[in-house]
Structure 1
Amino acid sequence: MVSFNFLILSLFLSHIFIFVSATSRSRLETDHSDTYTGYINSSCQATRYPDLCTKTLSPYAATVQTNPMELANVALSVSLKSAKATSKAVRDLSKERGLSTKDGQAVADCLENMSDSVDEMKKSMTAMKEMDGPEFEENMGNVKTWVSAALTDEDTCMDGFEENDGKMKERIRGYIVNVAELTSIALSLITNISST
């Protein structure tokens, strides 16, 4: 009888221990998640678009943790993905029938700008992986130059529609504004790394 009671007590205590351990681990993971999300929110305040930055980058909190280089990498990756999608959308628009000569030329120029923007961000992503060592400052300078050029390409795309009226201008604007804001966020976060 004593051994049976001891067995029941042991099982009961084991379950309590497992429950307490799981609860503590879950609370600890939540605490870390809050810390990581807080870090992203705090870092995003230094950007021109803090709300978009926080909303876009918070899902990557577990990857970023509190690492500024990882945060910049994620921001650049998100911006590159958006630039690729925008480039594809502009390419699709260029194939539409019935474009005016003015719109057709502006779309063709924008497509070239977006292609350049994607290339510059790809070079930046490659350089961000090679930040260790004595060439850190040079690599960081290159990354900032390329991301800044990508942002200029995106702005130039919009400028090409400045004198155009109608739906095409608004459609292009819908794509370009988002990618330009994401690129601006990435540039701000990259600049913050090099200034620390």
Structure 2
Amino acid sequence: MSKSKILLVHLFCSLYLLSASSAPNPNASSFIEAECLATLYPSVCIQSLSTFSKTVQKSPKQLARAALSVGLSRAQSGSAFISKMALMRGLKPMERSAVKDCAANMASAVDQLSRSLKELGRMGSQKLSWHQSNVESWIGAAITFQQTCIDGFSSPTMAGNVKVAVMKRALDCKQVTSNALVLIHRYAAAKRKHGAFTKTANLP
């Protein structure tokens, strides 16, 4: 099994464990909804994170991790989908070129988000600003790659089912990634407010 497939299986297992819940927690659901209101796409945020209520509870850290995990999962599935589309028969030369470029950009976004998720786990250390800067920079780069994919289909001559399918995946990835960036920034702010640089601080 390739490394990418192993990573994907591990991520899906992590998402399953994060979302496993016997029943929604009303208090946690209210917390998630309130935090999502600060994002650019609140309805998308609530829809994608509501199943994590038991794990998240009222923890900015767990919410940030869940949001980034969802962002990476969507990016991986979107990248795989668009890569397969690039191999389809019957594409016009302009369409094939745009889809191939998009596939490359989406793959780069996956790489940036993978790095971000690993770095997020280090934000509990005393070097909060350093790790936060890394995480947010890499997520910002992922969003740029996703937007570049979208821009490749902005020409009026690009129309039809291929454009619709690619744009739907890329836009979804960009939205959940943008939301994750906001929630991570809010987690870092809460961590800093509660004394991230003291040994006793342990914001959930």
TM range (shorter): 0.7 to 0.9
Deviation at 1:100, TM superposition (A): 1.2
1:57 and 2:49 matched: yes
**Cα offsets for 1:10-48 (capped at 9, x unmatched):** xxxxxxxxxxxxxxxxxxx97x91111111011001011
Could you say which residue in structure 2 is the equivalent of 1:17? Answer: none
Q: Residues 147-175 of structure 1: CA distance to partner in whole angstroms, max 9, x if unpaired?
A: 11111111100101112222211111111
Instruction: Find the aligned partners of 1:156 and 1:188 in 2 and give their Cα distance.
Output: 20
* TM-score of the pair, normalised by structure 1: 0.81
- Name 1:11's counterpart in structure 2: none
Q: How is 1:47-196 mapped onto 2 (pairs within 5 angstroms)?
A: 47-163=39-155, 164-196=158-190
2: CA distance, partners of 1:74 / 1:147? 14
- Tell me the TM-score normalised to structure 2 length: 0.78
The structure where helix makes up a greater share of residues is 1
Aligned residues: 167
CA offset digits 1:29-73 (Å, max 9, x no partner): 97x911111110110010111112112111101101111011010
Q: 1:58, 1:74 → 2: CA distance?
A: 10
Gaps of 5+ in 1: 1-28
* Larger Rg, first or second structure (1 or 2): 1
Give the equivalent residue in structure 1 for 2:196: none
Q: Deviations over 1:121-167 (max 9, x none)?
A: 00000001112222211001110111111111111001011122222
* Distance in 2, Cα, partners of 1:35 & 1:165: 45
SS in 2 for 1:195: helix
* SS of equivalent residue, structure 2 residue 91: coil
Unaligned regions of 5+ residues in structure 2, if any? 1-21, 191-204
